[in-house]
Chain A
Amino acid sequence: GAGVSQTPSNKVTEKGKYVELRCDPISGHTALYWYRQSLGQGPEFLIYFQGTGAADDSGLPNDRFFAVRPEGSVSTLKIQRTERGDSAVYLCASSRYKGGDYKGVYNEQFFGPGTRLTVL
């Protein structure tokens, strides 16, 4: 079946511009996560959605970052007034259930291929 997809795969923008990054999770997955990853580092948590609502946005670095998931499926991460420090790979992941173990299922997160954002 189809995995998590993300578009665009690469985005180059200029400092100060607005960008939108899209994530299409695995069908039926209720939980969706956004991370960003810099070279040589593990993923850094940004925000978690359960259904349509943001259950935890504590990882968003500042108010320039915002994410939505209006119909509980596709999500869009929006970055305003981009800065050079925003350059990273933005990863989206989804999992079938909310929370931890569920009826013996690991509830592991499945990742998309990422969007490489470069801010010049």
Chain B
Amino acid sequence: GQNIDQPTEMTATEGAIVQINCTYQTSGFNGLFWYQQHAGEAPTFLSYNVLDGLEEKGRFSSFLSRSKGYSYLLLKELQMKDSASYLCAVRSDSNYQLIWGAGTKLIIKP
């Protein structure tokens, strides 16, 4: 079957760094997305990886290792507004359908 795993919940301190991991087993691979979802709101796009390595975008970075079926999202200089769920999604070989993880709820403490 196809599966995306990520931790259910993480807690971090304002100003610190946090890494949210995602592992996947899918029938194919055509890109991995990270989305942010605040409570009661729609997911919003954060990052995309299709080749191995690190993609940096301001305070957020995303890493991919295709051979290991592994990605992480790195958030630096955490702010209270970063409290949200972070969803990992893989686009399989069907090219359009995204397979979603259950999301990691990130709690930021002052």
Write out the residue numbers on chain B whose beta carbons fall within 8 Å of the beta carbon of A48: 96-97
A111 to B98, CA, bound (A): 13
* Cβ-defined partner of B48 (8 Å) among A42, A108, A114: A108
Q: Which DSSP category, helix, strand, loop or mixed, fits chain A's interface?
A: loop
Interface size class of A (residues with CB under 8 A): 20 to 34
Binding-face segment, A12-20, A69-77, A80-88, A97-105: A97-105
Given known A-B contacts A106-B48, A112-B42, A42 and B89 have beta carbons under 8 A apart: yes
Binding-face segment, B65-73, B75-83, B99-107: B99-107
Say yes or no: A45 contacts B45, CB within 8 Å: no
Write out the residue numbers on chain A whose beta carbons fall within 8 Å of the beta carbon of B101: 42
Say yes or no: B45 contacts A110, CB within 8 Å: yes
* Cβ-defined partner of A111 (8 Å) among B4, B8, B44, B103: B44
Show the binding face of A for B, using Cβ within 8 Å: 4, 31, 33, 40-45, 48, 55-56, 91, 95, 98-101, 106, 108-114
